[in-house]
């Protein structure tokens, strides 16, 4: 009787609990961009949208007519806040191996019902992709205009940059 050789590959390691970033919001925030959870590259860089191929900074830079992609990270955040735009993620923590939203396990949501307190001038929320967009009913119930926009992630190649830019621009300019 022949036996199949045993695989030498190790089973995948369970993902450790990861924590996301603090919100980039102040009392003057009028438009908030909500992502799902930072990618592995973003967590390593300790920056929102830190993957070098993520199109977030070029898109927001074009929408706001600011050279965001060329600025140091701290300066990017300062420019966003100065323009009334905030950043946050729907999840505060989760387990995930890799960076795909489909791999998010045991997520813990951020305090999204607390947005009126954190950003009293907030009028609109743009969800960066479908995973974050699952929170649209909750945010709309708080009275904010909402749009689920195409993900800026390099994993979302279904739309060209120009198409994403047009959709992001239309929503943000309408509420800016």
User: Which residues, at least 6 apart from 28, have a Cβ–Cβ distance to it below 8 Å?
Assistant: 81, 84, 121
Residue 2 domain flag:
no
Q: 6: buried, middle or exposed (CB in 10 Å: 19+, 13-18, 0-12)?
A: exposed
pLDDT at 81: 98
Check: CB of residue 38 under 8 Å from CB of residue 21. yes
Q: Which residue, chain included where needed, has tokens 């905030």?
A: 86
pLDDT at 95: 81
Q: Considering the domain boundaries, does residue 58 fall inside one?
A: yes
- pLDDT in tens for each of the 176 residues of the chain? 443 444 344 434 445 888 999 999 999 999 999 999 898 899 999 999 999 999 999 999 999 999 999 999 999 999 999 999 999 999 998 987 777 666 777 889 999 999 999 999 999 999 999 999 999 999 999 999 999 999 998 776 788 999 999 999 999 989 87
pTM: 0.88
Residue 53, in any domain of the structure: yes
Contact between 91 and 113 under an 8 Å Cβ cutoff? The reply is no
86 assigned to some structural domain: yes
pLDDT at residue 101, as a whole number: 67
pLDDT at 11 (0 to 100): 39
Q: How many structural domains does the chain have?
A: 1
Does residue 9 belong to any structural domain of this protein? no
User: DSSP of 124-167, one letter per residue?
Assistant: EEEEESHHHHTTHHHHHHTT-EEEEEPP-STT--SS-HHHHHHH
Contact 30, 122 (CB under 8 A): yes
Full residue range of the structural domain in which residue 113 is found: 17-175
Positions marked active-site? 54
pLDDT of residue 25: 97
Q: Considering the domain boundaries, does residue 128 fall inside one?
A: yes
Provide the CATH number for the domain around residue 67. Answer: 3.40.470.10
Within a domain: 41 = yes
């Amino acid at each position: 009787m022949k036996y199949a050789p045993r695989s030498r590959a190790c089973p995948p390691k369970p993902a450790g609990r990861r924590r996301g970033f603090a919100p980039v919001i102040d009392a003057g925030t009028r438009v908030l961009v909500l992502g799902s959870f930072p990618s592995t590259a973003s967590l390593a860089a300790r920056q929102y949208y830190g993957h070098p191929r993520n199109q977030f900074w070029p898109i927001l830079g074009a929408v706001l007519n600011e050279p965001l992609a060329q600025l140091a990270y701290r300066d990017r955040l300062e420019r966003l806040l100065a323009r009334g735009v905030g950043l946050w993620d729907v999840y505060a923590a989760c387990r995930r191996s890799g960076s795909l939203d489909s791999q998010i396990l045991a997520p813990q949501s951020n305090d999204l019902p607390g947005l009126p307190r954190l950003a009293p001038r907030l009028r609109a929320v743009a969800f960066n992709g479908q995973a974050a967009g699952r929170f649209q009913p909750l945010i709309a119930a708080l009275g904010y205009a909402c749009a689920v926009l195409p993900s800026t992630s390099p994993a979302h190649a279904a739309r060209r940059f120009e198409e994403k830019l047009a959709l992001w621009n239309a929503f943000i300019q309408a509420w800016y």
